Amino acid sequence: MAEPRSYSMKFMDSVLGIDVDTECIPLMENIFRFFTTHLSLTPGRPASAEASVFVHSYAELNIKNLEWEEVLIRRNKYPEFHLYGLRGLPEAGKEMILSEHTGTAILFEEHHRRIHLYISERSYIQVIDLIRDLFIRLEEYRGTLVLHASAASDGEKIIAVVGRKGAGKSTFLLELLVDHQYKFVSGDKLFLRINDGEIQAYGWPDYPSLGFGTILKYPRLAEMLKAEGYELDPAKPEAKILFSPHLLEKVFDFQFIAGPMPLQAVLLPDVLASEETGVIQESDPRLVTEHVEITANNPLNGWNHFIKPASSDVMLPKIQQLSDALSTCRMVSVRGKGILDSELLSRITDSSARALV
């Protein structure tokens, strides 16, 4: 039997060792392709790692008689991202998650910092979700904050677009990417560290969610999505679909950039079809900090106990640091049709106080 192939996967300062059985390499290569826009992947075992993941075929899974309980892993309106399963405890220090609908099983060995992952052709989303969950929990212990935001960069600094669902984050992200040739940093989460009072931002691999109204502004994107089997109804401009960022890359030929880079500005969007786009300078950091996501506050964080979430007591001082550091970057409310012309963008990025007057 061929030896497993070993990899080291790193995001920021967190490292996973991943050993892949030969028959699983094609499946994992597809998953690795998703991550390599923002994470580093190198052959060979890492010198040290927070956890080791061993990947096997789901066909090799041999389940003992266990007492199972239902567990919800991730709640999502998109069926392929709604993950659930059964949880069993084979023995002390071990925990198994079985998701028959995706052909995936995860055996956590907490004491040994090992995970045995059994995958099939249907495991793609669930494996991605597991790896992202591990890195988020590891980075929170290092004081990294996760901001619910999309983001783009001019190659030197990052603009974050922060707001509630449906406010227009993806609309303004596309404006930056397509009309101003910015580089793609993130479509959903931005990782932040505060160094000497300056906010450093890191991108994150994810699946952008775009409304039909936004998609139909870009005919080539609409045509490609229709060719992929998506149905776009102009009568439902607020309806959304979720798809791979590589499709956006293919349509618009933009570049990915992982960071870190200084955070230059925060856009707080409110897309309204009836109004021309205008901007207002903001000063209340709570408009941003209320969108920081803390795993310990997520009611679904207990779906596994391999890495317990960093407590709110650990994270709250970091949020205060972010609140203080936001004075070093621009915060602006952007309200209107979602059209960001060059004059408006220059006013947002201009550091002079006169820019938004």
* 144-177 tens-digit pLDDT: 999 999 999 999 999 999 987 767 787 888 889 8
**Does residue 214 lie within any of the structural domains?**
no
Backbone angles phi, psi at 41, to 5 degrees: -130, 120
Residues 109 and 166 placed together within one structural domain of the fold: no
pLDDT in tens, 247-273: 777 777 778 889 899 999 999 988 765
Report the pLDDT value the prediction gives residue 126, as an integer from 0 to 100. Answer: 95
pLDDT in tens, 127-147: 999 999 999 999 999 999 999
**Does residue 273 lie within any of the structural domains?**
yes
Residues 104 and 173 placed together within one structural domain of the fold: no
**Does residue 227 lie within any of the structural domains?**
no
Which tokens belong to 34? 């998703």
Residues 182 and 323 placed together within one structural domain of the fold: yes
Residues 94 and 182 placed together within one structural domain of the fold: no
Report how many domains make up the chain: 2
Mean pLDDT in residue range 317-341: 88
Residues 158 and 297 placed together within one structural domain of the fold: yes
Give burial (CB, 10 Å; 0-12/13-18/19+) of 91. exposed
Residues 188 and 267 placed together within one structural domain of the fold: yes
Amino acid at 82: H
pLDDT in tens, 76-125: 877 778 899 999 998 888 999 999 999 999 999 998 999 999 999 999 99
- Out of 141, 175, 191, pick the residue that ends a domain: 141
Find the domain containing 124 and state its range.
5-141
**Does residue 72 lie within any of the structural domains?**
yes
Which tokens belong to 158? 């990052």
Q: Confidence class of residue 274 from pLDDT cuts 50, 70 and 90? A: low
**Does residue 49 lie within any of the structural domains?**
yes
Report the pLDDT value the prediction gives residue 227, as an integer from 0 to 100. Answer: 83
Residues 196 and 131 placed together within one structural domain of the fold: no
Judged by phi (left if over 0) then psi (alpha if -120 to 50, else beta), residue 136 lies in alpha
d(CA 215, CA 338): 13
Closest CA to 10 of 244, 202, 155: 202
Can you give the pTM of this predicted structure? 0.90
